[in-house]
């Protein structure tokens, strides 16, 4: 069942349905491969079918929805090729942005990173907090790009990372995310101490190495095999 949040001030039906449907897909509430329909979505959101139809077309362009004529509409299964491409993009660009941050980074944004990681530390060892951690994690990386005046680059990464972020959330729901939090704390140290020589290895550990653990999620004997 979808989680329905209230409309934001000034939000029209199209923007509202886009936000809520996408949030439910990205949070795995609407799970990969699940059948969805305009009628059911419109009823759940208490709006007409027209904006929902437009939103499903938008989500299809974003590789989050698959439409099969005469068959039905489904949440896209997680695509391993899209995961690999997003990881490549993230590693390449985040490594370079971390190097820029080591050279120069605004003090106020460094403070925001420290506030963010302080909230992350409160979640260490807790189960059932993957969604909350995932939001802090995303904002953590956004702050680094914002501090380097590269917000449009972050937007491009976010657009390509929908499948990457879904498997990452699934992994965080199944495994401890404590190691990721320690890595975030270390990234803050790297920026504060201007350890530019550690940027490459930092993001190898943070982005590339965790992908090895994801293989267990899509093996044929995995309870999540049908998500892929």
Do residues 106 and 147 lie in contact, with contact meaning Cβ atoms separated by under 8 Å? yes
Q: Is the pLDDT of residue 128 over 90?
A: no
Do residues 41 and 4 lie in contact, with contact meaning Cβ atoms separated by under 8 Å? no
Threshold 0.95, pTM exceeds: no
Task: Give the pLDDT of residue 70.
Answer: 87
Percent of the chain at pLDDT > 70 equals 100
Phi, then psi, of 138 in degrees rounded to 5: -60, -45
Q: How far apart are the C-alpha atoms of 22 and 197, rounded to whole Å? A: 38
Taking alpha carbons only, the member of 51, 56, 80 closest to residue 68 is 56
Do residues 169 and 131 lie in contact, with contact meaning Cβ atoms separated by under 8 Å? yes
Convert the pLDDT of each residue in 170-219 to its tens digit. 998 888 899 999 999 999 999 999 999 999 999 999 999 999 999 999 99
Q: Is the pLDDT of residue 97 over 90?
A: yes
Convert the pLDDT of each residue in 45-56 to its tens digit. 999 999 999 999
Q: Is the pLDDT of residue 1 over 90?
A: no
Q: What is the 3-state secondary structure (H, E, C) of 181-203?
A: HHHHHHHHHHHHCCCHHHHHHHH
């Amino acid at each position: 069942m979808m989680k329905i949040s209230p409309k934001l001030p000034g939000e029209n039906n199209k923007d509202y349905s886009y936000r809520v449907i996408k949030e439910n897909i990205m949070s795995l509430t609407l799970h990969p491969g699940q059948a969805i329909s305009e009628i059911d979505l419109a009823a759940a959101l208490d709006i007409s079918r027209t904006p929902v139809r437009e939103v499903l077309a938008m989500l299809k362009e974003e590789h989050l929805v698959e439409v099969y004529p005469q068959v039905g509409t489904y949440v896209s299964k997680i695509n391993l090729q899209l995961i690999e491409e997003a990881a490549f993009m993230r590693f390449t660009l985040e490594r370079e942005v971390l190097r820029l941050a080591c050279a120069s980074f605004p003090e106020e944004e460094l403070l925001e990173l420290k506030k963010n990681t302080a909230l992350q530390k409160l979640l260490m060892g807790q189960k059932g907090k993957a969604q909350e951690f995932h939001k802090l994690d995303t904002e953590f990386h956004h702050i680094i790009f914002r501090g380097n005046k590269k917000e449009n680059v972050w937007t491009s990464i976010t657009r390509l990372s929908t499948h990457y972020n879904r498997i990452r959330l699934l992994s965080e729901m199944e495994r401890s995310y404590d190691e990721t939090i320690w890595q975030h704390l270390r990234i803050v140290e790297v920026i504060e101490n201007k350890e530019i020589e550690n940027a490459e290895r930092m993001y190898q550990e943070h982005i590339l190495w965790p992908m090895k653990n994801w293989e267990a999620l899509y093996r044929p004997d995995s309870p999540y095999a049908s998500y892929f």
